Amino acid sequence: MINVLYVDDDAVFRGLVCDIFKYNNDFTIVCAKSGQEGIDMALEKDYDIIIMDIMMPDVDGWKATKKIREEKPDSVIIALSALSVKDLDGNSIFDEHVRKPIRGYEFKTTLKEVAIQKGIWSKE
């Protein structure tokens, strides 16, 4: 089971992502409604993967990711954004980037691939 923290201020998009994982036994997902809440949750508990929205009003995804990495440098953090990779990150602060809009099957496949690469999950 892959434990996922999803951080996004947009309630509609949080609902969409949670629906993608609703009937999948490979993942458990909890959601944070803001960058600061995401930081707090990530520092309170260990998650296998953190999915981070970038454009949030209180604490954006870059700042939240930097703060989490200060305390937990080995966290696996995937950016989820409409921004292109070029616009997103010149210094590779994220382990992976998924571009909005997402497709459910492809999104889950990407998360599984990252989990396998990082040794979090095996195909067996």
User: 42-81 pLDDT, tens per residue?
Assistant: 999 999 999 999 999 999 999 999 999 999 999 999 998 8
pLDDT of residue 16: 87
Query: Which one of 3.60.21.10, 1.25.40.10, 3.40.50.2300, 3.40.366.10 gives the CATH number of domain 2-52+69-117?
Result: 3.40.50.2300
Sequence ranges of the domains in the chain: 2-52+69-117
- pLDDT tens by residue, 98-115: 888 787 778 888 888 989
Q: What is the pTM of this model?
A: 0.90
Hey, what long-range contacts does 63-68 have (CB within 8 A, 24 or more apart)?
A: 63/35, 64/7, 64/35, 64/36, 64/38, 64/39, 65/93, 65/94, 66/93, 67/39, 68/38, 68/39, 68/42, 68/43
- pLDDT tens by residue, 9-51: 999 989 888 888 877 788 899 999 999 999 999 999 999 999 9
